[in-house]
Structure 1
């Protein structure tokens, strides 16, 4: 008699909705002075147009900053942004190999340097894999957004 094998039906895998990248960043204090700070870059498919940059540890009072995922991508190649968030790619002519982000609010300005290659790899292989560039609109509940705006 042939052996009987029980085959269970495959269970659906939970769809990944968010990804984080822990970072060893540097808070720029002056032209030749900076300190190491832990940060986290995050992306969620339920907020497909934005990334979140979170200050951790002793620098946690810096909060969490949300800004355009595409702005971060553009900033990898050329100076980008205006207003509260500005991004500069590495500047080899000045010996800077990191991605520089300026975060500004009403009271203060912070310059942080992030590891360029790590951020680029994460965006390309994680964030844009989770939600491909150009497909973000399909994930937004426009009725709910409009309801939120009109109350």
Structure 2
């Protein structure tokens, strides 16, 4: 499945700090079949609204997906998302402790991946929100540059 990048709004400013984490995930192949795959989440202060989920190793062909950091955070609490990215929180009542992320490509193919919810939550809280606190993302965007790009291009 090709990499996917959601459309961005205003152009971010050039100075950047970043954080990332490599996790062991489960690529769901069917109702009772899955395989272990490594993935990496990245967050950069120069693209403060998004996180990147990169598939590594044998699953690298699934590409890199960018989506809303808020969507990932909300997905840890409740089912969320429409369209290309949908997220479901752990469901202890059904014996599922993983965060589920479904990524649907333009070709109609979909990838369902189970992620360790505690590690994702901890990374968001301790690292990405430490770089750019929730709610302050828009203050880092270059609104004038975005407006210029829209009016000149």
Q: Which structure would you say has the larger RCO, counting Cα contacts within 8 Å and 6 or more residues apart? A: 2
Which structure 1 residue ranges, 4+ long, deviate > 2 Å from structure 2? 146-150
Aligned residue for 2:81, secondary structure, equals strand
Which residue of structure 1 aligns with residue 120 of structure 2? 119
Deviates more, 1:88-97 or 1:71-80: 88-97
TM-score of the superposition, structure 2-length normalised?
A: 0.86
User: Is the 2:90–2:96 contact (alpha carbons within 8 Å) kept by the matching residues of 1?
Assistant: yes
In the other structure, the counterpart of 2:131 is 130
Task: Give structure 1 stretches of 5+ with no counterpart.
Answer: 1-14
Residue 76 of structure 1 corresponds to: 76
Please say which structure displays the higher CA radius of gyration: 1
Instruction: Tell me the CA shift for residue 115 of structure 1.
Output: 0.3
- RMSD value over aligned CA atoms? 1.3
Q: Displacement, 1:146?
A: 2.2
Q: In structure 2, list runs of 5 or more residues that go unmatched.
A: 1-14
CA distance in 1, matches of 2:139, 2:93: 41
1:60 & 1:148 partners in 2: Cα distance?
A: 33
- Name the SS of the counterpart of 1:80 in structure 2: coil
